[in-house]
Amino acid sequence: MFAWVVLIISGIFESVWATALGKSEGLSKAVPDIIFIVGLILSMAGLAYAMRDIPASTAYAVWVGIGAALTVIYAMLSGDETFSLLRVLLICGLVACVIGLKLAH
């Protein structure tokens, strides 16, 4: 169970580093660069830890799903991406798949 908690947290950090990378303008802005590096390290370390107890295919799919969903949600809320019902429904589908992978594990 602890591995799943770590995996979820590392998925959150995946969204953090992906968002920071987008804001860094090609790794040319110090604050987003630092957030990117720290988020990347924490995310990868958490993923690696979780893969000790969760199969790599499942762990990676959950990690990417969480990161992708949160990245898009943040972008829509911050105005960086347009908000649409279709995007929200697709993100809900992605989240449902992540939950399904946990339940099927």
Residue of 22, 24, 14 whose CA lies nearest to 70:
14
Distance CA 80, CA 102 (A): 31
The CA distance from 49 to 4, in Å, is 10
pLDDT, tens digit, for every residue of 39-90?
A: 999 999 999 999 999 999 999 999 999 999 999 999 999 999 999 999 999 9
Range of the domain at 8: 2-104
What is the model's pTM? Answer: 0.91
Could you tell me the pLDDT band of residue 102, with boundaries at 50, 70 and 90? confident
For 37, the 3-state DSSP assignment is: helix
Number of folded domains in the chain? Answer: 1
